[in-house]
Each structure stands twice: as structure tokens, then as C-alpha cells.
Amino acid sequence: MKHVVVGWFEIPVKNMERAMAFYETVFDCKLERLQMGPIDMALFPWDHEKGGAGGSLVKNEEFYTPSEDGVQVYFSSEDVKTELARIKKAGGEILQSKTLISPEVGYMALFIDSEGNRVALHSLK
């Protein structure tokens, strides 16, 4: 059987400055803004050699609409509680606090970002 992995993700936004401020605050990182024709993007820090999928915030009213429904993106974390502590201050809403999935799989949490997207966190501890 072929192994299929996520190679890239895009999170729709309505207001790029607000969304960048939200994610930079929650994840204590710096996003790199990039204009690709009519598409405004902000790339999350990513080192493909360390694994995981890269991704970005993306703004284009014709093709992208923030939503609480649909595909669920999970951000990996050392400990979900770290990012959860920053969500409200950054303008988001916690939907589900740190919850044990199983001892083998770890923990998860759900939140609504500044743009209205449902996003998740995952950590082993």
C-alpha cells in the first residue's frame, strides 16, 4: 500500500494582518508574508528536513473562505496547554480544552482563530 502524507496546508483568512498577529502570538513565531499575484500568503516557519507539512495563511476572496466546517488542521506542540494559554489574548476562542485522546496518542484541543477557522492542537504530553 502506498504511504500518503500531507505536503502542504493553507488556512483561509479575511484580514491578513489580524491573522498573522494571531498566529504569531499563539505559536510565538514569525510568519513570512508573500504576494503571489492576487493571492496574499503568510508562510509558517518550516524545515522540511525535520518533517511535518509546511503551510501558510492565504487570502483571496475568490477562492478561500474561512470556516468552522470542513478539513481540520492539527498543529503539533510540545504541550497543548502552552498555545491554549495564548488563544484568547490573541483574539481566538477555545472550543475544547486539553483533552486526552489516549496514553499512546497524546492530547488534543480545538480553537477558533481570529478569522473564524476551527483549528486543532496535538501534543504527546
**Rounded-to-integer distance, Cα 16 and Cα 36, Å:** 14
pLDDT the model gives residue 7 = 83
Residue 38: per-residue pLDDT: 93
Alpha-carbon gap, residue 53 to 68, rounded angstroms: 21
Class of domain 8-123: alpha beta
Distance in angstroms (rounded) separating the CA atoms of residues 87 and 91: 6
The answer to whether the pTM exceeds 0.85 is yes
Helix axes of 80-87 and 16-27: crossing angle, nearest 10 degrees: 140
- What are the domain boundaries of the chain? 8-123
Q: According to the model, what pLDDT value does residue 83 have?
A: 97
From first to last of its 125 residues, what are the pLDDT tens digits of the chain?
777 778 899 999 999 999 999 999 999 999 999 999 999 999 999 988 887 889 999 999 999 999 999 889 999 999 999 999 999 999 999 999 999 999 999 999 999 999 999 999 999 99
pLDDT value of residue 60: 96
